[in-house]
Amino acid sequence: MKEMLAAYAEVVGQDVIAHLQQLSRPLQGMKVVHVNSTRVGGGVAEILEKLVPLSNELGIDTSWEVISGNEEFYRCTKAMHNGLQGHRAPIADSLLQAYEEANRENADQLREQLEAADFVFIHDPQPAPLLGLCPNRRGRWIWRCHIDASRPYRPLWRYLRNHIAPYDASVFSLPDFTQALPHPEYIIPPSIDPLSDKNIELPEAEIDRVRREFALDPDRPMVLQVSRFDRFKDPVGVIEAHRLARKFVPDLQLVLAGGTATDDPEGEAVLQEVRQAAGDDPDVKVLLLAPDAHRTINALQRAADIVIQKSTKEGFGLTVTEGLWKGKPVIGGDTGGIRLQVVNYHTGFLVGTPQGAALRIRYLLYRRDRMAEMGEKARQFVRENFLLTRHLREYLALIVGLLH
Ligand code: UDP
C-alpha cells in the first residue's frame, strides 16, 4: 500500500482504507482540482495539505491551486468572511472590483486546467467567481463553504449568490450554516488529522515535560479549556465552574490555554477579564501559547483529566474533537457543533451554566470508572465520525454521486 494510506490504516483500520479504495475505483485517473486562497494557515489549508496527497494515492489525479490578489482583494475577502458571519457593513464597489479583477487574472492562469478537470472544488468565497470565468468547463463544480453562513449580511449574500448559484452543488459544514441555493446542498462536517502534531500520539516523557514547564502537578486532577480569548468561549464561566467544583475536589487544577491574538483588540480585553477572574489563584493557570504550539496543546489535552469547551456560541468546535480524540470526556456548552460531538452521558456532558459544568466535573472525578468508559467512547466516536478519512470518504461519495 502507498505510504500515507498505510500510515492512516494504522490509526483508522484497514477496512476504512479499503472503503476509500472501493469508492475511488470509478474515479481512477480523473482530474480533481481544489482551489482556495492560502497555502498555509487556517483550517482549509490544513485539511487540503493531507487530503490532496491522500486522493492521489487513491489513484485520483488531484491538484491544489491557490489564487492570489493584491491588498484590496484580501481586504475585500476579509470583509466577505465577516459579512457571511453576520457583520453588517457594505463592501465598497472599488473592493468588489478588485475581487473580480483578481479572479479574472487568476482565471487566465488556471483556465485550461480548470476547464479540463472532471471535478473542481472551490473553497470559500475568495475564488467563487472562477466558475463564471471558465465558460468551457466540462466537469462538475462544487462550492465548499467552511464558514458559518447562517445569518449573512443580506446585500453581500445577494452579490455572492450570483457567483455561487451556477455551481453544480454546495457543501456546508453543518445544517445550520446553509443558505437556500438552486442546486443540491450537502452537509459535510469538518475533521481532524490524527497524524498532525496537534493529534498524534505523544511519548509520556513529552507530556511530563509540558506538565513541568507549566508547573502542573501530575498527581492532582486537571481540567483544561483550549481556546482563543473570546467571550463566546466563556473562559470566565470556566473559572467559575472550577471554583464551584473545588468545593468537592479541593485539589483540582484548571488550565486555560489560548493564543496571544495580537491583532484582536477584544482578545486583549477578554484576557484581562480572565486574569482578573483568576486573581492570584495558583491553581488557575492562564497560558498564552504561540500560534504554532500544536504539540504543546496536544500534550495539555493528554495531560488533562477532563476537557471543557463551555462556549455559549460555537461553530463546530474543533477543540472538542481534539479532546475527545485524546480519550477525554468533554464538558461542552449546549450550542452549535458541540451538540454533534458531545453525546450526553456517552462522550461527555452538555451544559448551560458554570453550576452545570461544576456538577459534571464532580461526577466524573468521583466516578473514575465512568470517566474512563466515556473517554473510550469519545475516542471511538471521533474515529468513526470526525477524522480526515471520513471527510475524504464523503467528498468521494459526493463526486461519485455527481458522475451520473
Ligand atoms: N488553537 C490553537 N491555539 C490557541 C487556541 C486554539 O492552536 O491558542 C486551535 C485549537 O486547537 C483548534 C482551533 O485552534 O484546533 C480552534 O478551533 P475551534 O473550532 O475550536 O474554534 P475557533 O477558534 O475556530 O472558534
Q: Crossing angle for the helix pair 388-402 and 14-24, nearest 10 degrees?
A: 20
Residues β-bridged to residue 344:
348
Query: Contact, 110 vs 130, CB < 8 A?
Result: yes
- Please indicate whether residue 256, judged by its CB atom, sits closer than 6 Å to ligand 1: no
User: Residue 266: which pLDDT band, with cuts at 50, 70 and 90?
Assistant: confident
- Please indicate whether residue 386, judged by its CB atom, sits closer than 6 Å to ligand 1: no
Instruction: From 226, 289, 295, give the residue whose CB has the most ligand 1 atoms within 8 Å, as the site to mutate.
Output: 226
Average pLDDT, the chain: 95
Residue whose grid cell is 468551457: 136
Tell me how far apart the alpha carbons of residues 52 and 61 are, in angstroms, rounded to a whole number.
Answer: 9
Q: Residue of the nearest CA to atom 24 in ligand 1? A: 317
Judging by DSSP bridges, how do beta strands 169-172 and 185-187 pair with one another?
parallel
3-state secondary structure 179-214: CCCCCCEEECCCCECCCCCCCCCCCHHHHHHHHHHC
Tell me how far apart the alpha carbons of residues 94 and 371 are, in angstroms, rounded to a whole number.
Answer: 56
| ipTM (interface pTM) | 0.98
User: Residue 328: which pLDDT band, with cuts at 50, 70 and 90?
Assistant: very high
The CA dihedral of 306, 10, 199, 384, to the nearest 10 degrees, is: -60
- Please indicate whether residue 301, judged by its CB atom, sits closer than 6 Å to ligand 1: no
Q: What separation in Å is there between the alpha carbon of 329 and the centre of ligand 1?
A: 18
How is 222-251 classified by DSSP, letter by letter? EEEEE--S-GGG-HHHHHHHHHHHTTTSTT
Q: What is the pLDDT of residues 3-42, one digit of tens each?
A: 999 999 999 999 999 999 999 999 999 999 999 999 987 7
- Please indicate whether residue 316, judged by its CB atom, sits closer than 6 Å to ligand 1: yes
Computed on alpha carbons and rounded to an integer, the radius of gyration of the chain in Å comes to: 22
Per-residue cell: 228: 482563543
Tell me how far apart the alpha carbons of residues 150 and 314 are, in angstroms, rounded to a whole number.
Answer: 12
Q: Please report the pLDDT score of residue 260 as a whole number.
A: 60
pLDDT for residue 146 is more than 80: yes
Q: What is the pLDDT of residues 173-199, one digit of tens each?
A: 999 999 999 999 999 999 999 999 999
Residue whose grid cell is 473570546: 230
Query: Contact, 182 vs 162, CB < 8 A?
Result: no
Q: Please report the pLDDT score of residue 262 as a whole number.
A: 54
Q: What separation in Å is there between the alpha carbon of 70 and the centre of ligand 1?
A: 28
DSSP reduced 3-state for 117: coil
- Please indicate whether residue 322, judged by its CB atom, sits closer than 6 Å to ligand 1: yes
Tell me how far apart the alpha carbons of residues 340 and 54 are, in angstroms, rounded to a whole number.
Answer: 26
Q: What separation in Å is there between the alpha carbon of 230 and the centre of ligand 1?
A: 11
Tell me how far apart the alpha carbons of residues 54 and 308 are, in angstroms, rounded to a whole number.
Answer: 32
Q: Please report the pLDDT score of residue 244 as a whole number.
A: 98
What type of residue sits at position 26? P
Residue whose grid cell is 475585500: 76
pLDDT for residue 1 is more than 80: no
- Ligand 1 atom with the shortest distance to the CA of 259: 8
- Please indicate whether residue 227, judged by its CB atom, sits closer than 6 Å to ligand 1: yes
pLDDT for residue 261 is more than 60: no
Q: What is the pLDDT of residues 50-94, one digit of tens each?
A: 999 999 999 999 999 999 999 999 999 999 999 998 899 999 999
pTM of the model: 0.93
C-alpha triplet 339, 264, 256: angle, nearest 5°: 50
Q: For residue 222, report the phi and psi dihedrals to the nearest 5 degrees.
A: -140, 135
